[in-house]
């Protein structure tokens, strides 16, 4: 089989998995909470998103890093449409999801997949807590 076709299939599959993970996370996050509370944003959503991205990538033998990156791009598009500063919001969404992916892959390579997921969940929780506080601080001004 042609290696270019195999490589293209791998990348296409990874992007498809990212779209599936994004859609599933969006639905679960919408169904699970009506209000945007700190607990939901800082604790629940990161667990759901990191598990979906990584476990679906593993299940379908896709690229964990590419799934995280594509997920970030889709989230960037969604967030940019709602933001007063779309380019900053979009850039941060992509950058942070790439960072979560790198942390997941490094944790997996050096320890285990559970360690990689746990580290990315913790980092995602810290990031969301920081953003939640920053947004609420700006709203008070």
* For range 84-108, the mean pLDDT: 91
Contact 21, 59 (CB under 8 A): no
> For residue range 39-86, what is the model confidence (pLDDT) as tens digits?
777 788 899 999 999 999 999 999 999 999 999 999 999 888 877 777
- Quick one: DSSP state of residue 43? I
What domain range is 54 assigned to?
3-140
- What is the CB neighbour count within 10 angstroms for residue 9? 11
For residues 46 and 36, the answer to whether their CB atoms sit within 8 Å is: no
d(CA 73, CA 19): 10
Q: How many independent structural domains does the chain possess?
A: 1
pTM given for the model? 0.87
Of residues 20 and 26, more confidence is placed in 20
Average pLDDT of span 114-141: 85
């Amino acid at each position: 089989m042609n290696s270019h076709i195999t490589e293209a299939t791998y990348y296409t599959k990874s992007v498809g998995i990212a779209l599936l993970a994004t859609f599933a996370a969006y639905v679960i996050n919408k169904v699970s909470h009506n209000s945007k509370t700190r607990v939901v944003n800082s604790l629940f959503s990161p667990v759901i998103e990191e598990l979906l991205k990584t476990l679906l990538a593993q299940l379908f033998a896709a690229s964990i890093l590419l799934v995280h990156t594509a997920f970030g791009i889709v989230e960037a598009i969604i967030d940019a449409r709602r933001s007063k500063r779309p380019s900053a919001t979009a850039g941060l969404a992509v950058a942070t999801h790439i960072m979560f992916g790198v942390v997941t892959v490094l944790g997996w390579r050096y320890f285990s997949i559970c360690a990689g997921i746990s580290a990315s969940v913790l980092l995602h929780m810290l990031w969301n807590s920081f953003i939640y506080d920053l947004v609420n601080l700006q709203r008070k001004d």
